[in-house]
Amino acid sequence: MSGIRNLGMPFDPDLFSDLKMNRSAIERRAKSLGGRRSVKKEWQAAWLLKTITFIDLTTLAGDDTDGRVKRLCAKALRPVKEDVLLSLGAQSLNIHPGAVCVYNNFVGIAVKALAGSGIPVAAVSTGFPAGHTPLAIRLVEIRASVKAGAQEIDIVIERHMVLNENWRALYTMIARCREVCGEAHIKVILGTGELGTLTHVAKASMVAMMAGADFIKTSTGKEGVNATLPVSLVMVRMIRTYFEMTGYKIGYKPAGGISDSKTALQYVILMKEELGNDWLTPDLFRIGASSLLTDIERQLEHCATGRYAAYHHQPLV
Amino acid sequence: MTVEKIFNSMSYGPAPESIVEATDWLESHKRIFKLFIDGKWVRGNGKPFQSCDPVTGDVLAKISQASKGDVDKAVKAATNASTSWRALSGFQRAKYLYALARLVQKHARVLAVLETMDNGKPIRESRDIDIPLVARHFYYHAGWASMLADEFPNYEPHGVVGQIIPWNFPLLMLAWKIAPALAAGNTVVLKPAEQTPLTALYFTELSIKVGLPAGVVNIITGNSKTGQALVAHGGVDKLAFTGSTEVGKYIRKQTAGSGKELTLELGGKSPFIVFADADLDSAVEGVVNAIWFNQGEVCCAGSRLLVAESIAGKFYKKLRARMDKLRVGNPLDKAIDIGSLVDEAQKKRVQSLINEGRKEGGVVYQSKSKLPKGGCFVPATLITCVEPSSKLAQEEIFGPVLAAMTFRTPDEAISLANNTRYGLAASIWSENINTALDIAARVKAGIVWVNSTNQMDAACGFGGYRESGFGREGGREGMLAYLRPKSLAKLKPLTVLKPAKQTIFTTTQNIDRTAKNYVGGKQARPDGGSVMSVISKQGKLIGEVGRGNRKDIRNAVQAAVKQAGWSKSTAHLRAQIIYYIGENLDIRKDEFAQRIKSMTGVSLSKAQAEVAMSVERLFYYAGFADKFDGAVHNPPVRDIAIAMNEPLGVLGIVAPQDMPLLGLISLMAPAMAVGNRTVIIPSDIYPLAATDFYQVLETSDVPAGVVNIVTGEHDVLTKTLADHEAVNAVWYFGKPGGSKAVEAASIGNVKQIWTHKNKTYHWMSGQGQGRVFMEKASQVKNIWVPYGA
């Protein structure tokens, strides 16, 4: 990753305690976004190719195996068919996902599979998905992931700290994790589907950034509700606020439920409209997904050939 | 551009909407359109004109101009169709409206494209907002048609309705006008704006498709001359107009005394109020929807930004950053936020107002959005440091220009918000429900949006206070604008009562009583120092009252204006006071009966009956005061949409000549019950019942200024009352023939006028009281309160 890394700042509740999010207004804005912008033809192809570079290609399932992780990595190395790239004139763009995201235990396998590609491995490493394990154990887990070669660590927060508004504890917990991450970048998963209100989402976002998060991320993919546009709007607005306050650009990662091109493009549009082009880089924007890639491939094939494409023609993720 | 280049720039590309279907339709008419009268396309007799695309300047079609004769034909067609149309069952009319709703949906895209081509508004708006609302309006009113007989049992349609609509929401305004009119059983002659007639013409084809009987809807295109002919036409029973305040005033004046019912939806300079505790990012987005929706060519646009001084700098910074993201350009592009103004004239007007704002010390910021060459484009414009005294703070701009000011306290926010001749809408942003609802209650506007803006729906009333007009569109209140009480048709003409001549010249044995005016809770000597004699039927002088003049009216209005507390008092308090008046009047019933008998010459028993009915009426409205409930509407959003009945403010009343006590009380009591302060001109020939009544008022705890009474000649006093700009409404039930002057004089501040239309009301019967009096004494404020934890 490039740019100046967020150094965080001292815990200061004055900077976020007055925040209030108006759900209805936020939902209205989120709803109208899709209708306000549209990318067609070459623009659609280019935007979708770019979207692939935002993907944290992810497998986080109970039945993950070495074989499954290897297959995912292979796909990361060749996310789009050669002929499609050629026909779009995109062969020199070196399209690959932003990272491959796995459980701690599979970091080693993934690192090996991706060796030499420049694609980083991200690990979910802190009692994922609930975070209800002793902090000491979670820190051990982070260290293990980093040692195994993970360049990015996705941590989960303890939701009770938000629900009970124990912001200082949240700050301290995240800061500890960040410390242990060392050079590895830290993405803080808020579990927004379990935070109750958008105001909580906003405050948790601010605390995470103050504590040194490189990215703030919506969900584990395991909550009842995962990434949504209204929640994203709140989080990116907080990123903007933090940037205006400190000059640090924090990344954003929606995850869970983004499985088709149309939805993914809405998130890209949201980033462009609310944060600007600076954020349209894998350094500052990721989408946690897996099946999304197949849908994007189909759309790209359509852009290339003019024919609607079939799922089974795309190499499995 | 190559995929690679776009990949690196992540720019937006063109996303044009197809115009093929719309163009095919225009071509199918060879781009020449006639008038639609009596179910047929007929050639207009005026000089045809052109409808142009404001972006390219291309001529879209040649449009017929309806001459005076054509207007006459259209009104005749509507008149002929009226009898059978109103005779249909509600269900039968509902089926037509329902079919229209469905057809609008089925033709949604071509309608949206035509609208954008003709008007210049972004296709996103015509597609996502205008056309869906059009369909919604027909659906909603299909329902009212079905329910009409049950829900409005004592009402009937007006007959033929003339409707004139503006160019900013061409088809939506057509729907707002036609749907309720047809649901209520009226037939229609509608004139679209000359700049934007195309969707109305397309709509006529839909009306043919649904088999709407000939003459029920007539569409006549033309310029202001066509409009003038429609306004002046004697066959029109009701006029509904949406457009500028200037033209609204013209229409009011032209129709004065004609007996035509009138509703006006006029201009605005609506405040957008941001408190320090608002969700500021959302409020910024609110501003976008308030003033950069439809290029700011919206009557209810939030065009005055009032920001808490403590956050103004921060808010402006956010706003400027947001403005730079707005994309201005070809409105047929799906990714455009701001399209073209409607024509060159409008663009010039807006630009000259921006320049004036700059000259007056305003700090002008215009978005960095690239403007296309040609077309009538103006970028999003924010002008800060505007003071209430600048032109930009007062005049409706009707363009993408926002004038910003700051406030320190909620009270100051209200003072600034209400410092305008308009009163259409207001938008209030605060996360504190106390602040938001307090401001919602105090702002003078017909539509209030809490933490939202420009929300519209058929289920909610839309319309203004003050010079933003009167009457509502949408909701139950909107249906009332197209109905009238059945009893009105049966009223007999009113004849003038002349004072008796004095024939008996004996001196009175009693101590001389001097009747003065009643102003601000005190008996005040008339300014002119002159009196009028009151002569009994027998020709005997029975008393003298002050001959009030302009200054007496001025003083009375001033007293009424000062008593603002009455309009904010609780309904329970008002009820108690009205009951108390009834109680005290009852104690003195014999004296009042004698007085009525001696003035009017009626029998004692008739006079007693009038007094008894007066007491009864006071009790009726005392009881009604806390039962005149508003409503909670059901728009299709998560929202509590409250329709609140609010008093008009200062209400001038000219009481009937006859029934000197009951006539006055029948008008005073409902006005008071709703919370108005009144200035009453009592019967000119029998004024002593009113002057005796002072003592009843004095003993009944009526706060000073709630009721003010000035005696004198109707013609003289009414004029001053009707053109006084601090009087909000006038009820004229005085001498026949006076209605015209009242209506004509009311245009200064666009008063709501209610007159007897020279008909005799039967004050002793049930016709002299009822909900309709309460409705006439009030205006509906719709408050939208979205919620969500």
Q: What is the ipTM of this complex?
A: 0.97
Asked if A20's CB is within 8 angstroms of B15's CB, the reply is no
**pLDDT value, residue B509:** 64
Asked if B3's CB is within 8 angstroms of A49's CB, the reply is yes
Task: State the average pLDDT over residues A98-102.
Answer: 98
Mutate which: A15, A16, A19, A22, vs B, most B CBs within 10 A: A22
HEC sequence for B716-732 = HHHHHHHHCCCCCEEEE
**pLDDT value, residue A1:** 47
Asked if A46's CB is within 8 angstroms of B282's CB, the reply is no
Nearest Cα to Cα of residue B189 among B43, B34, B70 = B70
How far is B393 from B387, CA to CA, in rounded Å? Answer: 7
Asked if B12's CB is within 8 angstroms of A49's CB, the reply is no
Asked if B431's CB is within 8 angstroms of A20's CB, the reply is yes
What distance in Å separates residue B274's CA from the closest CA in chain A?
A: 13
Asked if B13's CB is within 8 angstroms of A24's CB, the reply is no
Mean pLDDT (10-residue bins), chain B, 789 residues: 96 97 98 98 97 95 98 98 98 98 98 97 98 98 98 97 98 98 98 98 98 98 98 98 97 96 97 98 98 97 98 98 97 97 94 96 95 93 96 96 98 98 98 98 98 97 97 96 94 94 78 88 94 92 94 98 97 98 98 96 98 98 98 96 98 97 98 98 97 97 98 95 97 95 95 96 94 97 97
In chain B, residues with a C-beta closer than 8 Å to the C-beta of A90 are 3-4, 7
Q: Using CB atoms within 10 Å of the CB of residue B321, give its burial: 0 to 12 exposed, 13 to 18 middle, 19+ buried.
A: middle
Give me the helix-helix angle, B90-106 and B198-209, nearest 10°: 120
Q: Which residues contact A108 (CB under 8 A, 6 or more apart)?
A: A148, A149
Nearest to B1 among A23, A35, A42 (CB): A42
Bond preceding residue A129 cis, omega within 30 of 0: yes
Q: Using CB atoms within 10 Å of the CB of residue B653, give its burial: 0 to 12 exposed, 13 to 18 middle, 19+ buried.
A: buried
Per the DSSP assignment, residues forming a β-bridge with B40 are B37
Asked if B11's CB is within 8 angstroms of A43's CB, the reply is yes
What distance in Å separates residue B14's CA from the closest CA in chain A?
A: 7
| Identified catalytic residue from B17, B156, B265, B297 | B265
Q: Considering the entire predicted model, what is its pTM? A: 0.97
Side chain identity, residue B36: F
Asked if A20's CB is within 8 angstroms of B786's CB, the reply is no
What distance in Å separates residue B81's CA from the closest CA in chain A?
A: 42
Nearest Cα to Cα of residue B703 among B560, B592, B597 = B560
Beta pairing class for B639-647 and B631-633: antiparallel
Asked if B13's CB is within 8 angstroms of A29's CB, the reply is no
Nearest Cα to Cα of residue B500 among B555, B463, B542, B471 = B542
Q: How many CB pairs under 8 A join A and B?
A: 101
| Domains within chain A, CATH numbers bracketed | 20-313 (3.20.20.70)
Nearest to B325 among A24, A88, A273 (CB): A273
In chain A, residues with a C-beta closer than 8 Å to the C-beta of B329 are none
- Mark out chain B residues that contact chain A at CB-CB < 8 A: 1-7, 9-15, 124, 127-128, 277-279, 281-283, 285-286, 325, 334-335, 337, 431, 451-452, 638-639, 786-789
| Domains within chain B, CATH numbers bracketed | 20-266+478-482 (3.40.605.10), 270-463 (3.40.309.10), 548-780 (3.40.605.10)
In chain B, residues with a C-beta closer than 8 Å to the C-beta of A42 are 1-3, 6, 13
- Mark out chain A residues that contact chain B at CB-CB < 8 A: 18, 20-29, 32, 35-43, 45-47, 49-50, 88-90, 92-93, 196-197, 237, 272-273, 277, 280
Nearest to A40 among B2, B7, B15 (CB): B15
Asked if B279's CB is within 8 angstroms of A35's CB, the reply is no
The DSSP code sequence of B114-138 is HHHHHH---HHHIIIIIHHHHHHHH
What distance in Å separates residue B333's CA from the closest CA in chain A?
A: 9
Mean pLDDT of chain A: 96
Q: Are A283 and A292 in contact (CB under 8 A)?
A: no
What distance in Å separates residue B4's CA from the closest CA in chain A?
A: 6
Nearest to B788 among A18, A23, A40 (CB): A23
Nearest to B286 among A25, A37, A43 (CB): A25
In chain A, residues with a C-beta closer than 8 Å to the C-beta of B14 are 40
Q: Residue B670 region, left (φ>0) first, then alpha (ψ -120 to 50), else beta? A: alpha
Asked if B11's CB is within 8 angstroms of A23's CB, the reply is no
Q: Give the three-class secondary structure for B767.
A: helix
In chain A, residues with a C-beta closer than 8 Å to the C-beta of B1 are 42-43
A165, B111, B135, B475 from A192: Cα distances, Å: 14, 41, 37, 39
Nearest Cα to Cα of residue B688 among B595, B553, B611, B556 = B595
What distance in Å separates residue B456's CA from the closest CA in chain A?
A: 14
In chain B, residues with a C-beta closer than 8 Å to the C-beta of A53 are none
State which residue of chain B sits closest to A50, comparing Cα positions. B7
What distance in Å separates residue A134's CA from the closest CA in chain B?
A: 32
Asked if B335's CB is within 8 angstroms of A37's CB, the reply is yes
**pLDDT value, residue B292:** 98
Catalytically annotated residues of A: 154, 217, 253
The angle at the Cα of B264, spanning B263 to B266, to the nearest 5 degrees, equals 165
The DSSP code sequence of B587-629 is HTHHHHHHHHHHHH---HHHHHHHHHHHHHHHHHHHHHHTT--
Asked if A42's CB is within 8 angstroms of B3's CB, the reply is yes
What distance in Å separates residue A287's CA from the closest CA in chain B?
A: 17
In chain A, residues with a C-beta closer than 8 Å to the C-beta of B337 are 36
Nearest to A27 among B14, B279, B788 (CB): B788
**pLDDT value, residue B504:** 86
Residue B475: enclosing H or E segment and its boundaries? helix B475-480
Per the DSSP assignment, residues forming a β-bridge with B363 are B384
State which residue of chain B sits closest to A91, comparing Cα positions. B4
State which residue of chain A sits closest to B785, comparing Cα positions. A24
pLDDT tens figures, A256-307:
999 999 999 999 999 999 999 999 999 999 999 999 999 999 999 999 999 9
In chain A, residues with a C-beta closer than 8 Å to the C-beta of B15 are 38-40, 43
State which residue of chain B sits closest to A88, comparing Cα positions. B3
| pLDDT more than 70, % of chain A | 99
The DSSP call for residue B50 is E
